[in-house]
Amino acid sequence: MYKIISNPYPYPNPQKTAIISNGKSYSSQNLQDESRSFAGFLLEDSTDLQEFRVAFMVAPGFDYVKTQWAIWLAGGIAVPLCTTHPLASLQYVIEDTEARIIVVSQEFEEILKDLAFEKTIRFIVLGENVEVKNIVLPSIEATRRAMILYTSGTTNLPKGVVTTHQNIEAQVNSLVGAWEYSENDHILCILPLHHVHGIINVISCTLSVGGTVEFLPNFTVEGVFDWFMKIAKNNAQGVFMAVPTIYFKLIAYFETLSATQQTALQNAMKSFRLMVSGSAALPVSVMEKWENISGHRLLERYGMTEIGMAISNPYHGERRAGHIGQPLPNVEVRLVDEQNVTLASGEAGEIQIKGKTVFQEYWKKPQATIDTFTEDGWFKTGDVAVLEEGYYKILGRSSIDIIKSGGYKISALEIEEILRTHPEISDCSVVGIENEEWGELVVAVLIVKNDSIDLKELNVWMRTKMPSYRVPRQYKIVEELPRNAMGKVTKNDLKPLFK
């Protein structure tokens, strides 16, 4: 069981490898000892950080986990910073949280040093000499705030999502039970660590049961495939989690390999226990191609910064393509209409979530917190789905993926799935743009395989696949779709293409 309070993870075998990073292995004892020591350093002469916000910009690896644990052990609130964000974005988070301490890896020292000096924030660079006096760590209540993660902020300034230790514990325990994590698991972390996907699903869940987390210094497709081969060679119990764009890149690279190389990789991947996709909608075409390549039917799930993971295809049983699955343990799910009336199976509505996994509040935004919950305590996700034969299917985000055109509510995601099956299209994104006659006009941005495509023929082909009111009225061809750090297409960036 996950217990961050006083002793983060009580490993049954203290000498077992917990983390592998930069070519070095660290036992669970190493991790706990260094976390406690650094917690003592953070405390200085105080006995408890009392929920001081500690922002940290630390490269993925042992130091990242050590820093996060130390903040929690010292009674602080962990505020992980994105290592690729510009200074203005980092400054916004630091100022919004009123961080008292900033911790950085040496490679990020120059980025934040001047800001810390200007704001008189205590500035700690990892790797410098650390003197620790007697370590007496505070006792932390489970209801205390533990972490603030920032939403993507596609429509306004990012909001800080506050989770307590109790929230994190509930998120971890729900997933550990559903996906059957074990101390034999060996997982690769290639995901950004300012998001719940990497922090909770990969690191926290795996370490909570005594498994091993390995980090790649830099993400490359070749590096991932080399890791697959290493895991199989060592007879380890491999687990892999990624976003759809990474699977897309892996598939594209795999197809360039020789038959001998492909066979070796296929044999290696078949030995894995589990492969998961999340953080963005998984195209059915990608799911099917990956299954042919790896022998694994990807487990697709649904979650958000505010709720952790809430819905998942089953570990045992049918993993239904195009569907996000069923409610996870100890998570309540319902679909409602615009008046918050619960809908019957087969009717499309907003996903609402309730349970201990749901966040506590938006940082310093009480009205936004009130607005995102119903009067009876359900969190309003803003995502629209339909329940089909016991499985939830995402139709899109109400403000972005549900296009209101000519009196119809149209799912952009469903149109995208059809477009991706066209032999000349490698990827696409569908959006709605303002239009006086229709309200919104359905339009599509395409990435094509041979630099050109006959759009008139495409239009005729689309009309054989769906009702005419769903067929895009305009198309634009681009070389690449704009995406955020988690691989989601930033659709608002596409709309100006049609003005």
Domain membership of residue 477 (yes or no) is yes
C-alpha–C-alpha distance, residues 58 and 75, integer Å: 19
* Residue 103 β-bridge partners: 56, 124
C-alpha–C-alpha distance, residues 205 and 176, integer Å: 6
Q: Which residues contact 376 (CB under 8 A, 6 or more apart)?
A: none
Domain membership of residue 4 (yes or no) is no
Alpha carbon separation from 434 to 245, 397, 437, 481 (Å, rounded): 29, 17, 9, 21
Q: What is the pLDDT of residue 154?
A: 47
Domain membership of residue 428 (yes or no) is yes
Q: What is the pLDDT of residue 244?
A: 87
Q: For 92-107, what is each residue's pLDDT tens digit? A: 999 999 999 999 999 9
Collapse the DSSP code of 415 into the 3-class scheme (helix H, G, I; strand E, B; otherwise coil) and give the result.
helix
C-alpha–C-alpha distance, residues 301 and 370, integer Å: 27
Alpha carbon separation from 431 to 68, 405, 416, 441, 495 (Å, rounded): 38, 11, 10, 8, 7
Q: What is the pLDDT of residue 16?
A: 92
Residue 12: band (very low, low, confident or very high) from pLDDT cuts 50, 70, 90: low
Lowest mean pLDDT among 35-49, 55-69, 400-414: 400-414
C-alpha–C-alpha distance, residues 219 and 69, integer Å: 24
Domain membership of residue 449 (yes or no) is yes
C-alpha–C-alpha distance, residues 92 and 104, integer Å: 17
Q: What is the pLDDT of residue 293?
A: 96
Share of the chain above pLDDT 70, in %: 96
Asked whether the beta carbons of 386 and 358 are under 8 A apart, the reply is: no
Q: What is the pLDDT of residue 6?
A: 44
Domain membership of residue 41 (yes or no) is no
Domain membership of residue 472 (yes or no) is yes
Q: For 112-162, what is each residue's pLDDT tens digit? A: 999 999 999 999 999 877 777 678 899 999 999 999 999 865 446 789 999
Containing structural domain, residue 411 = 402-498
Identify which of 4-8, 84-88, 221-225, 483-487 has the greatest average pLDDT.
221-225
With 90 as the cut, is the pLDDT of residue 466 above it?
A: no
Residue 3: band (very low, low, confident or very high) from pLDDT cuts 50, 70, 90: low
Q: For 389-433, what is each residue's pLDDT tens digit? A: 999 998 877 778 888 887 777 888 889 989 999 999 999 999 999
Lowest mean pLDDT among 6-20, 168-182, 251-265, 379-393: 6-20
Domain membership of residue 406 (yes or no) is yes
Domain membership of residue 85 (yes or no) is no
Mean pLDDT score of the chain, rounded to an integer?
91
Q: What is the pLDDT of residue 10?
A: 57
Q: What is the CATH number of the domain that holds 485?
A: 3.30.300.30
Return the amino acid letter for 313.
N
Nearest Cα to 115, choosing from 92, 91, 139, 146?
91
Return the amino acid letter for 236.
A
With 50 as the cut, is the pLDDT of residue 2 above it?
A: no
Q: What is the pLDDT of residue 1?
A: 37
Count how many domains the chain has: 1
Nearest Cα to 497, choosing from 449, 436, 428?
428
C-alpha–C-alpha distance, residues 151 and 327, integer Å: 23
C-alpha–C-alpha distance, residues 475 and 89, integer Å: 33
Q: What is the pLDDT of residue 89?
A: 87
C-alpha–C-alpha distance, residues 313 and 324, integer Å: 6
169 burial (CB, 10 Å; 0-12 / 13-18 / 19+) is buried
Q: Are strands 237-242 and 185-189 parallel, antiparallel or unpaired?
A: parallel
Structure tokens at 112: 């934040």
Q: For 299-344, what is each residue's pLDDT tens digit? A: 999 999 999 999 999 999 999 998 999 999 999 999 999 888 999 8
Full strand arrangement of the beta sheet holding 53-57: 122-125, 101-104, 53-57, 77-80, 145-150, 160-164, 361-362
